[in-house]
Amino acid sequence: MPAPRPNDDAVPPVPVLHVLTVPLAELGVPTAPDLRELLAGSGLLAWTVDGQGLVGHGRAAGHTVRGPDRFTAARVWWDDLAAAAVVEDRVGVPGSGLAAFGAFSFAAESGADSGLVVPELVVGRRDDDAWASLAVAAAPGAPFTLSAEDVVAAWVHHHGAAPGAAVAAAPAAAPGPVHLSPGALDEAAWTQAVREGVELIRAGGLEKLVLARDVLARTAGPLDPVAVVRDLAHRYERCWTYCVDLGSGAGRLLGATPEMLVRVLDGTARARVLAGTLDRDAVPAGEDPQRFAARVLGESEKQQHEHGFAIDSLTASLAPYTEVVTSSPEPFILELPNVWHLASDVTAVLRPGPAGDPPSSLELAEAVHPTAAVCGTPTAAAAALIPELERMDRGLYAGPVGWLDAAGNGDWGIALRGAVQQDEHTVRLFAGCGIVGASDPEAELAETWAKLRPMLQALGLGADPAGAAPGAGAAAPRRPGR
C-alpha cells in the first residue's frame, strides 16, 4: 500500500536509479554461493542467515529520517525512488531488482538517525537462486546502458576479485586488548532499575517491561567490522546477521538477531517471536542440557507468561492487515550457541488494502513495532518507563533492521544481540530482558551477559568477559556469580 504523503514540500526529490539484476550463472558462477564468503571489503551492508540473504557494497542512494513519522517518511521516499527507477530484473525473486537495507530507531524520540540505503552492488541468494544487482544514479531520461560487464566491474571493485573467485578473509576483529566499561548505568544501578520495574509491575501499573543496558568496548587496535560480522554469521548461523551503516555519521549497526519482527514474501507475513531465555552456561553438572532447557523454559509459568505477552502483542498488531493468523500451538525451544529461547513462529496471510496491494514489509514493521519482546505490556506505559529507568537513548538497538524491495517484500528483524560501532575503536553493546512480577534482578543481570556474549566473542573476548581471555586483555565490569 503506498505510504500516506505529507505535503509535497516536505518530500525530498529522489535520484533516478538504473538497476540491472543478473543471475550469477550469467557471471560465470554456476552454483549459488554461501554468502558468508562475500562478507568482506569496505562499505559492507549485510543481512544473511545460513549463507543466504543479501550482501551489499557501496551506496547508490540513501535517505535518513527521525521522529514519530520516521517510517512513513522512509516509505514515501522509497515509493518515489521505486517509481522513478528504471529496472531490468532478469531474476524476479524477492530481493532482486531495486532493494535497500534499513534500520529504524526503537523510540520515536531517539536522537539517532533511521533510514534506508540502496547499495551500489547487491549479491543475493534465496535457495538455489543467486543474483547480483547493480544500481547507479542516472540523469532523468538517460538511456539504460547497464550490462553484465558493468556488474562484473562493480564486483571486482568491491570484492577485489572476480565473481566466483575467493575473497580475502578478514583478519582478527579487534587486534590488541579490548577494554569494557559500563554505559549509561553500571551493574548496581541497572539492577536497581530492574528492582524498581518489578515493584511497578507488582503494584499493578503494567504487566511486563523490557529493560536494557549498554556496555562500551574500546579496542586498542582498529576494529574491523567485517571480521565481527563474519564471526557472527558463522557462529550464529540460525540468527539473522546484520550490518547497516546509513552513512549519516550515526555509526554502524551490527549483530546477529534470533528474532524476526516481520518477513513479507509474496503476500504472506511471518514472524519469529521470542521471550523466555535460559543461559546455556547455566546447566548444572550432570544434567542433560536438552531436558534442563525443556524443564526450566518449557514448564516455567514465569517464562510462559512472559512469552504469552509477546505473542499477543504481535498478533493484535497484525490483525488489521491479515486474513488468517496462525502460530505454533506451543512455543518451541530455540537452541542458540549462547542461550535457549522460548520461540513461536507466526504466519499471516495478508489482506489487500484499498488499492489492491497487500501491505509492504516496512508498513508491517511499523505496525508491529515495538512488540512486547522489546518494550512491554501495555505498550504505551512500558515505552514511557523505559527511558526513565534505563537512562539512555536506545538508538537503533531493539528497532527494526533488515531490507525491502520494490514489490513490498522484505525481512525486518529486531536489532538485538548487537552493537553500534561508533568509531574505529569504540563499540556500544546492548542487551535487555523481559521483566515480569516474578523476575529476580540479579538473574536478569546475568541474562544480559549471556545476551552480550555473541558480540563479546566476536570481539575476541571469549564467553566470560570477567575472566576473559588473557590474550584479549579484557578489562571488564564485574560479572555476578550464578
Ligand X SMILES: C=C(O[C@H]1C=CC=C(C(=O)O)[C@@H]1O)C(=O)O
Does residue 19 bind ligand X (CB under 6 A)?
A: no
310: CB partners within 8 A, 6+ apart: 273, 274, 275, 371, 372, 373, 434
Query: Cβ of residue 11: shortest distance to ligand X, in angstroms?
Result: 34
Between 244 and 278, CB nearer to ligand X:
278
Between 132 and 416, CB nearer to ligand X:
416
336: CB partners within 8 A, 6+ apart: 236, 238, 239, 258, 280
Candidate list 49, 121, 174, 275; residue touching ligand X; CB under 6 A: 275
Between 154 and 212, CB nearer to ligand X:
212
Does residue 474 bind ligand X (CB under 6 A)?
A: no
Between 232 and 274, CB nearer to ligand X:
274
Query: Cβ of residue 88: shortest distance to ligand X, in angstroms?
Result: 41
Query: Cβ of residue 362: shortest distance to ligand X, in angstroms?
Result: 21
Between 374 and 472, CB nearer to ligand X:
374
Nearest to 79, CA basis, from 353, 321, 359: 359
Does residue 399 bind ligand X (CB under 6 A)?
A: no
Distance in angstroms (rounded) separating the CA atoms of residues 269 and 318: 9
Does residue 404 bind ligand X (CB under 6 A)?
A: no
On whether the CB atoms of residues 355 and 331 are closer than 8 A, the answer is: no
Distance in angstroms (rounded) separating the CA atoms of residues 235 and 455: 11
Q: How many CB atoms lie within 10 A of CB 382?
A: 26
Query: Cβ of residue 134: shortest distance to ligand X, in angstroms?
Result: 36
Distance in angstroms (rounded) separating the CA atoms of residues 158 and 43: 9
CA 360 to chain centre: 18
Does residue 416 bind ligand X (CB under 6 A)?
A: yes
Residue type, 474: A
Find the part of the chain contacting ligand X (CB under 6 A) among 94-102, 322-330, 430-438, 454-462: 430-438
Nearest to 363, CA basis, from 89, 71, 62: 71
Find the part of the chain contacting ligand X (CB under 6 A) among 2-10, 162-170, 182-190, 427-435: 427-435
Between 125 and 341, CB nearer to ligand X:
341
On whether the CB atoms of residues 18 and 144 are closer than 8 A, the answer is: yes
Distance in angstroms (rounded) separating the CA atoms of residues 462 and 477: 15
Site for ligand X in 56-115 (CB under 6 A): none
C-alpha cell at 257: 538477531
Does residue 389 bind ligand X (CB under 6 A)?
A: no
Query: Cβ of residue 257: shortest distance to ligand X, in angstroms?
Result: 8
Does residue 341 bind ligand X (CB under 6 A)?
A: yes
Does residue 373 bind ligand X (CB under 6 A)?
A: yes
Between 158 and 272, CB nearer to ligand X:
272
Candidate list 197, 255, 276, 308; residue touching ligand X; CB under 6 A: 276
Query: Cβ of residue 368: shortest distance to ligand X, in angstroms?
Result: 14
Site for ligand X in 210-249 (CB under 6 A): 210, 212
Query: Cβ of residue 203: shortest distance to ligand X, in angstroms?
Result: 21
**Parallel, antiparallel, or unpaired for β 121-126 and 52-57?**
antiparallel
Candidate list 308, 402, 432, 441; residue touching ligand X; CB under 6 A: 432
Query: Cβ of residue 308: shortest distance to ligand X, in angstroms?
Result: 12
Q: How many residues does the chain have?
A: 482
| CB-based burial, 446-475: b 16+ in 10 Å, e otherwise | bbbbbbbbbbbbbbbbbbebeebbeebebe
Distance in angstroms (rounded) separating the CA atoms of residues 157 and 171: 20
Distance (Å) of CA 232 to CA 238, 242, 469: 10, 9, 18
Query: Cβ of residue 331: shortest distance to ligand X, in angstroms?
Result: 11
Between 206 and 416, CB nearer to ligand X:
416
Does residue 274 bind ligand X (CB under 6 A)?
A: yes
Candidate list 451, 455, 461, 465; residue touching ligand X; CB under 6 A: 451
Candidate list 198, 246, 396, 433; residue touching ligand X; CB under 6 A: 433
CA 186 to chain centre: 25
Between 94 and 276, CB nearer to ligand X:
276
**Parallel, antiparallel, or unpaired for β 16-23 and 86-89?**
parallel
3-state secondary structure of 61: strand
Query: Cβ of residue 311: shortest distance to ligand X, in angstroms?
Result: 12
Candidate list 434, 441, 454, 465; residue touching ligand X; CB under 6 A: 434
Nearest to 365, CA basis, from 67, 102, 53: 102
Contacting positions for ligand X (CB under 6 A): 210, 212, 259, 274-277, 341, 373-374, 416-417, 431-434, 451
